[in-house]
A and B are shown apart, each in its own frame.
Chain A
Amino acid sequence: MGKIEWAMWANEQALASGLILLTGGIVGVAGQFRGWEFAAYAVAAGVFVCLLEYPRSKRAKGTSVERTGQYCFTVCVKAFGPLTRNYYVRAFLHAAICVPGGFMLATVLGCVCLGIASLIYLAAAIRGEHWEPILPRKDVRKPVAESIKNPPQNPPPRPPPEMRRKPAKELESSAYDNPIAVTDE
């Protein structure tokens, strides 16, 4: 946990807007409303925004939670380099995409929501945030954690419970041969 990364909320908002734009567009086209061309555009724009926003960015501080199956989307979005990394570009892109949605009632809601997402992205960009892909970890673990390994499958070598319960005076009979070498590494 740490300071607010506006981009995370902007991402949720933009994804939601993409879905709303898409739904409005589908309704407009299916119902053959007046201005259905705008609705058709909204369908395409909605799909594009959803694809762009689906992969979550890696957080600057803290653990990042991936969305299910976002890896292929991450690779595609990463391929565009600085265009997708920079949030100023995203803010202006979303602002531009949302405008044609305002010309038809069915897509107005998607337009306004995407506009709000664009504003939040602008705030994120001003604060210096940028998009980082979440890639599978290939790097070496930090030195601090090196001595902590995965819990071993077997418990540490202790004599079985029956032998442990022997009273202390029978020390000799409670001795046993350790099958695994016990050394202080």
Chain B
Amino acid sequence: MGNFVANEGLSIFVILVWLGINAFLFVHFYMAFLVDRWFYTRVLLGHALSWARAPAACLNFNCMLVLLPVCRNLLSFLRGTIQCCSRTAARQLDRNLTFHKLVAYMIAFHTAVHIIAHLFNFEFFMDAQLNRNSSHLPFILSEIGSGDNASFLNPIRSNETSPTIVMFTTIAGLTGVAITLALILIITSSMEVIRRSYFEVFWYTHHLFIVFFIGLVFHGYGRIVRGQTPLSLQTNSPNVCASSFEDWGKNESGCAVPVFAGNPPGTWKWVLGPMILYVCERLVRIYRSHQKVVITKVVMHPSKTLELQMKKKGFAMEVGQYVFIQCPSVSRLEWHPFTLTSAPEEDYFSAHIRIVGDWTQALYEACGGDKPEQQEAWKLPKVAIDGPFGTASEDVFRYEVVMLVGAGIGVTPFASILKSVWYKHIQNNQDVFTKKIYFYWLCPETQAFEWFADLLQSLERQMADKDMADFLSYNIYLTRWKETEAAHFRVHHEAENDPITGLKQKTLYGKPNWDNEFSNIALKHPRSKVGVFLCGPPQLGKSLETQCLSHSEADVKFIFNKENF
């Protein structure tokens, strides 16, 4: 149980606190509308009033929260500050996108409840105007304020209209429709299918959140939800006067005609802060993007991988961080994330980009990928960089024993780590906390090995020179192979160097037996915390997570970290 707590405890705690606050706000504001001030409003609307106001309060809270997890620069800053206090808390900030989605779902849910309740409210308000019977309290209440048009209770002022018309002629109604439409469009374009395949549609449509927030702030300006004024409560106490409504205003009844007013709009108090923070975040991104970035080298690797080596003044990075790259000549508005594959100790920074879609293909062509001869330096496109932003890999050196698992191109953050390890050890004055690295690379095709194999070869040589062959234990798994290749492997398996990679460590075939691997590591390193880092597909993540939980026994703890974009 303890291992589960170590891995998931803080996340669950945060979610529970968030749900708790939602529940509290809902109940609190539900009850707040059951007081005397809203007595006459409830005569018209019943509990539908509370059912509309309670989710409104929750919406204020969640709309405040939804902007915060996507302020990348703020989160990176927080992560750096918290890192010194608590590694677990810093890891929590990696799950920002998950939290953003959860809050978005909650917003959608509360919007649905809010709208359904208001549908009933509009219907009841209309009923009160249509049933024009002087001995009917709702009608009398609806007639109040017809003279000065200020002290009214019922926002529907005549019986010659319809709820639909009223909705389109009030501020609350119009903004409500606009922001609900914006929300629905944002949600449908954020579905996983659309997001993974057509990032542009997702990204551009998501900017409707600007419409959403502006509409949200102005939604309450019409003060359409009205209760009795405190002054009026003194001259007309609902408990006493409700039954004698036909005698209001007459001298002998002791009950004056009630006066109603709406609450001042309160949403801005909730969302103004986060909106300002987000604006600052975008300004920081724009500022960073205008700083000059120079491409110093372009390398075309097989398996459709493009390596860009760049320099930027004042750029500082840590292992395993990622940056957003923009290429104005390809697209002015698109920023795409890529992991940095260079080590902090190098004088340039690089990213290995796999060519999979429109943008990457266009970038490849702009860098002269399709031309046979090398591109001249001044013809290389201008690029802009935002970042670097930190992810889980920064934590690698804080564990004594580390398991790195990368699938295919997911090995890129680990390229950075391994290079950094190499640099740290050749600069002898550095005492590195990490004592052992187990590295697993799962790859479907042999060509993808090439650029990484070079790196591993030089590491192998360096470690042999320094008598440190034990420090890094790496396992490369080829998960798919052709028949003809298989024959070649069988014939050459006794060779000193691996036939595919040229490395001393032999390539293994098929998928790793994680149970065995975890058990072996647990045996070799009792009484230690083992950091498990994955960059790869979710199914692999799930199976590794299960392995971490099941193998974390008395003294060995496996802590699982997943990179995600």
Question: Is B357 part of the binding interface, using a Cβ–Cβ cutoff of 8 Å?
Answer: yes
Spot the interface stretch: B13-21, B304-312, B420-428, B480-488: B480-488
Q: How far is the CA of A31 from the CA of B299 in the complex (A)?
A: 67
Contacting B164 at CB < 8 Å: which of A8, A105, A148?
A105
Q: How far is the CA of A105 from the CA of B487 in the complex (A)?
A: 71
Question: Is A149 part of the binding interface, using a Cβ–Cβ cutoff of 8 Å?
Answer: yes
Q: How far is the CA of A109 from the CA of B182 in the complex (A)?
A: 12
Contact (Cβ within 8 A) B167 A105:
yes
Contact (Cβ within 8 A) A65 B490:
no
Give the distance to chain B from A76, nearest Cβ to Cβ, in Å.
22
Which residues of B, 184-199, contact A by the 8 Å Cβ criterion? 184-185, 187-189, 191, 193-194, 196-198
Give the distance to chain A from B409, nearest Cβ to Cβ, in Å.
14
Contact (Cβ within 8 A) B115 A9:
no
Taking CB atoms, residues of chain A closer than 8 Å to B119 are 24, 27-28, 31, 33, 105-106
Q: A8-B194, A105-B164, A151-B509 are in contact. Are A185 and B483 (CB under 8 A)?
A: yes
Taking CB atoms, residues of chain B closer than 8 Å to A151 are 479-481, 509-511
Spot the interface stretch: B95-103, B120-128, B391-399: B120-128
Contact (Cβ within 8 A) A112 B126:
no
Q: Beta-carbon contacts of A108-134 to B below 8 Å, as 1s and 0s?
A: 110011001000000000000000000
Contact (Cβ within 8 A) B490 A182:
yes
Contact (Cβ within 8 A) B180 A109:
yes
Taking CB atoms, residues of chain A closer than 8 Å to B252 are none
Taking CB atoms, residues of chain A closer than 8 Å to B511 are 151
For chain B, which range describes its interface: under 10, 10 to 19, 20 to 34, or 35 or more residues? 35 or more
Contact (Cβ within 8 A) A62 B482:
no
Taking CB atoms, residues of chain A closer than 8 Å to B167 are 105, 108
Question: Is A77 part of the binding interface, using a Cβ–Cβ cutoff of 8 Å?
Answer: no
Q: Beta-carbon contacts of A56-82 to B below 8 Å, as 1s and 0s?
A: 100100100100000000000000000
Taking CB atoms, residues of chain B closer than 8 Å to A8 are 193-194, 197-198
Contacting A156 at CB < 8 Å: which of B180, B196, B490?
B490
Scoring B164, B177, B180 by chain A CB atoms within 10 A of each residue's CB, the highest score goes to B164
Contacting B181 at CB < 8 Å: which of A23, A105, A112?
A112
Taking CB atoms, residues of chain B closer than 8 Å to A28 are 119
Q: How far is the CA of A27 from the CA of B185 in the complex (A)?
A: 22
Spot the interface stretch: A12-20, A42-50, A89-97, A135-143: A12-20
Give the distance to chain B from A107, nearest Cβ to Cβ, in Å.
10
Give the distance to chain A from B436, nearest Cβ to Cβ, in Å.
21
Contact (Cβ within 8 A) B188 A185:
no
20 A-B residue pairs with Cβ-Cβ distance under 8 Å, sorted by A, are A9-B201, A12-B188, A20-B184, A33-B123, A34-B126, A56-B193, A65-B193, A102-B164, A104-B164, A108-B177, A109-B115, A109-B177, A113-B184, A147-B483, A151-B479, A151-B480, A155-B509, A156-B490, A157-B490, A182-B490
Q: Which residue of A lies closest to B483 (CB)?
A: A147
Question: Is A2 part of the binding interface, using a Cβ–Cβ cutoff of 8 Å?
Answer: yes
Contact (Cβ within 8 A) A12 B184:
no
Taking CB atoms, residues of chain A closer than 8 Å to B191 are 12
Give the distance to chain A from B440, nearest Cβ to Cβ, in Å.
17
A-B contact sample (5 more), CB < 8 A, given A12-B191, A108-B164, A185-B487:
A12-B193, A24-B119, A59-B197, A113-B181, A156-B509
Question: Is B116 part of the binding interface, using a Cβ–Cβ cutoff of 8 Å?
Answer: yes
Question: Is B207 part of the binding interface, using a Cβ–Cβ cutoff of 8 Å?
Answer: no
Q: How far is the CA of A185 from the CA of B119 in the complex (A)?
A: 73
Question: Is B78 part of the binding interface, using a Cβ–Cβ cutoff of 8 Å?
Answer: no
Q: Which residue of A lies closest to B123 (CB)?
A: A33
Q: How far is the CA of A38 from the CA of B556 in the complex (A)?
A: 65
Q: Which residue of A lies closest to B180 (CB)?
A: A109
Which residues of B, 151-195, contact A by the 8 Å Cβ criterion? 162-164, 167, 177, 180-181, 184-185, 187-189, 191, 193-194
Give the distance to chain A from B281, nearest Cβ to Cβ, in Å.
27
Contact (Cβ within 8 A) B198 A4:
yes
Give the distance to chain B from A157, nearest Cβ to Cβ, in Å.
6
Taking CB atoms, residues of chain B closer than 8 Å to A172 are none
Q: Beta-carbon contacts of B192-220 to A below 8 Å, as 1s and 0s?
A: 01101110110000000000000000000
Contact (Cβ within 8 A) B123 A31:
yes
Question: Is B277 part of the binding interface, using a Cβ–Cβ cutoff of 8 Å?
Answer: no
Contact (Cβ within 8 A) B483 A31:
no
Contact (Cβ within 8 A) A184 B357:
no
Contact (Cβ within 8 A) A105 B509:
no
Shortest Cβ-Cβ A-B pairs, 7 listed: A1-B357, A105-B163, A12-B188, A184-B487, A147-B482, A13-B188, A4-B198
Contact (Cβ within 8 A) A34 B197:
no
Which residues of A, 132-185, contact B by the 8 Å Cβ criterion? 147-149, 151, 155-158, 182, 184-185
Question: Is B468 part of the binding interface, using a Cβ–Cβ cutoff of 8 Å?
Answer: no
Contacting B116 at CB < 8 Å: which of A2, A27, A104, A185?
A27
Give the distance to chain B from A145, nearest Cβ to Cβ, in Å.
10
Q: A23-B112, A108-B167, A156-B490 are in contact. Are A31 and B482 (CB under 8 A)?
A: no
Contacting B486 at CB < 8 Å: which of A2, A27, A156?
A156
Give the distance to chain A from B129, nearest Cβ to Cβ, in Å.
12
Q: How far is the CA of A116 from the CA of B178 in the complex (A)?
A: 13
Q: How far is the CA of A151 from the CA of B444 in the complex (A)?
A: 11
Contact (Cβ within 8 A) B163 A116:
no
Taking CB atoms, residues of chain B closer than 8 Å to A1 are 196-198, 356-358
